[in-house]
Structure 1
């Protein structure tokens, strides 16, 4: 613009000084919509929302500008509530590195959903906003979709956890059974004459059974540790998986 023919050097100078003055940090103020401060990203979205109205030769009517502003506020409030929901859900899934129970996950999700809806309902001008119901329904639909993805992944992880837990329990039962067999064997030996069953053989047999029982118990302990590690890893990965699904 400043390099077009016919524009005097004096005008260019004053225009440059004007632009510098407008964009000076000391002159910049926080932009607000109905008293609500906007971030740079929100301001860009607001401009994108309002710009099409100025594409025609006629200036837009104030009533239309008010409607578009209300639509914008409903949209960004929905986005904030949805972001809060996703963040809270991710925090729950990786809070202590353990896989929570299905009942606890459902209860926490319900609380987070209600919190997100309240955050939306308390948004600026939404109580007077005709766009509120549309965006609220959209928010509920998105939260349901997100939790559906999370729940499906959670069930897969939970299934593997339960299978590993069952293996651990089976190993512990086997260890207890082997120890009982060893103990019963020694009692049986005590009831027979020494000539019938040499003590060395009986002791060796009992010792071997004890070793097998100990080994089985150790295997159960290792399985338990691996199970807890796997469940912790899975719990930590669920929020990341959620982000990938929603991106």
Structure 2
């Protein structure tokens, strides 16, 4: 490769690092919003501008930024961007098969302005995937964990079985899961997406120690939600 070509590749790589990519799940929506903006603008210019703003929001909604995930099997990483809306002990959804005893649950609420790409909280094998239809009440409410449409994963990790539940929200009508039963996930790896505004619950063994508080902000693939052992080791990071 020539020096000129090498320089060009460096510029391209630099641009890619600075520009947040869009998840492929969003392409059809962005195209629809853009087409709608053109149609509206052809009738009345101000409507076209409103459509353009809506299209820009759609691009923003489906962003899929690179995240740097701590590499430590004892840590539980946030599966979603948003606000910690609930921490406590709750019985996990019966379809997960995690038993009838309460487990530590940490819930992350995603608004329509948060990135909605979901990431694995721990490394391990996907032992089970269970979908359950339901209603679409505000995902910020506790009853959403029981009543709303949801899709749950059970991940067999080094520290035991962890439950991760994608919950549809008030205006969300589509839960997307990228993985299949039997596949292996790394902590911070993308496993799904929810449109538009929703919640993700994580069910952990009772010995897990929460490291966040209700109301704090979480970043998917980066924020440490809990520690599965008494003493935390030195953290390393990986990009993904």
Give the structure with the larger strand fraction. 2
- TM-score scaled by structure 2? 0.25
Larger radius of gyration: 1
Could you say which structure has the higher helix fraction?
1
